[in-house]
Amino acid sequence: MTETEVPEDHPRYASLVTRHRIEAGVETGITSKQGLIAQGRGEAFDYLLGERTLPSADRAARAAAATLLAADRPVVSVNGNVAALAPAETVNLADAVDADLEVNLFNHTDERVRRIADHLREHGADEVKGLAGDGEIPGLEHARGVVDADGIEAADVVVVPLEDGDRAAALDAMGKTEIVIDLNPGSRSPQTADVPIIDNLIRAVPNIAAHARDLAGASPEELRAVVDAFDADEALGAAEAAIRGGSFATPDNS
């Protein structure tokens, strides 16, 4: 069954479409095999969350939008799962907040970076960073720390969906403001983030862009007020409470 063959009224429609996109990503060389494992972990947490955006995650998405609009050099980091699951939405987010797109892979190969950059261009991106590899995130083994000098290395705010915990900590140590999208509130990366968004990136990426377009005319003071009103610990706690206190019924997509 391909993505277009999944019947839209299937009770697990969204989940099946997501799986097909990741499978297709692996087949075309965009997503790594480890990406399949990450997808499985994410799917389990999304199931427990009821496959919905919590009000706390929506507030986080708004704080992320305000943070990005107030940034001097924002960068949206793209890995193989993000590229497979939400390429057009990611390009649209970068456009909405005037951020650079940078391909940044845990399992880095030049070939995969090129494929992902091409894939993003097919979905409307102009410039995609990540191929220069002339910068570094200090404190990591070389291959894990390669970034572009005029991209992530120079950024003040980075959006890192599904970032590995070590790299999230190393980016934090560089003084970056981090916006992490991750379905597991117990993972180290959202715990390190200034703005953790506990939501499926498929929902979170377009939601941040929608908030950014809504906040487009806001003054610096108004953006600051949105950022200051956000409480990262409260957002993590609300997601954990939703997971632990959920009804454990099969979510449907109606």
Q: How many residues bind ligand ATP (CB under 6 A)?
A: 20
- Among residue numbers 79 through 118, which ones bind ligand ATP (CB under 6 A)? 81, 85
Applying CB under 6 A, among 120, 179, 201, 239 the residue interacting with ligand ATP is 201
Percent helix / strand / coil, the chain, rounded to 5: 55, 10, 35
Q: What is the rounded CA–CA span in Å between residue 36 and residue 103?
A: 18
- 8 Å CB contact between 188 and 46: no
208 binds ligand ATP (CB under 6 A): no
Q: What is the rounded CA–CA span in Å between residue 158 and residue 101?
A: 10
Whose Cβ is closer to ligand ATP: residue 67's or residue 184's?
184
- 8 Å CB contact between 160 and 178: yes
Applying CB under 6 A, among 70, 76, 83, 183 the residue interacting with ligand ATP is 183
Whose Cβ is closer to ligand ATP: residue 70's or residue 164's?
164
- List all residues 6 or more positions away from 170 whose beta carbon is below 8 Å from its beta carbon: 137, 138, 139, 140, 145
Whose Cβ is closer to ligand ATP: residue 148's or residue 164's?
164
Core vs surface per residue 15-24: b (16+ CB within 10 A) or e: bbbbbbbbbe
- 8 Å CB contact between 192 and 172: yes
Applying CB under 6 A, among 77, 90, 200, 207 the residue interacting with ligand ATP is 200
Q: What is the rounded CA–CA span in Å between residue 38 and residue 101?
A: 22
Q: Residue ranges for the binding site for ATP?
A: 19, 41, 182-184, 188-189, 200-201
Applying CB under 6 A, among 39, 92, 177, 207 the residue interacting with ligand ATP is 39
| Residue nearest ligand ATP (C-beta atom) | 42
Tell me which stretch binds ligand ATP (CB under 6 A): 5-13, 65-73, 159-167, 233-241.
159-167
Instruction: Tell me the pairing of strands 135-136 and 146-147.
Output: antiparallel
181 binds ligand ATP (CB under 6 A): yes
Q: What is the rounded CA–CA span in Å between residue 248 and residue 45?
A: 11
187 binds ligand ATP (CB under 6 A): yes
Tell me which stretch binds ligand ATP (CB under 6 A): 122-130, 178-186, 213-221, 231-239.
178-186
Applying CB under 6 A, among 14, 30, 38, 208 the residue interacting with ligand ATP is 38
Applying CB under 6 A, among 51, 100, 153, 182 the residue interacting with ligand ATP is 182
**Helices 55-70 & 201-214 angle (0-180, nearest 10):** 50
Kindly list the residues in this chain that would bind ligand ATP in the complex (CB under 6 A): 38-39, 41-42, 45, 81, 85, 162, 164-165, 181-184, 187-189, 200-202
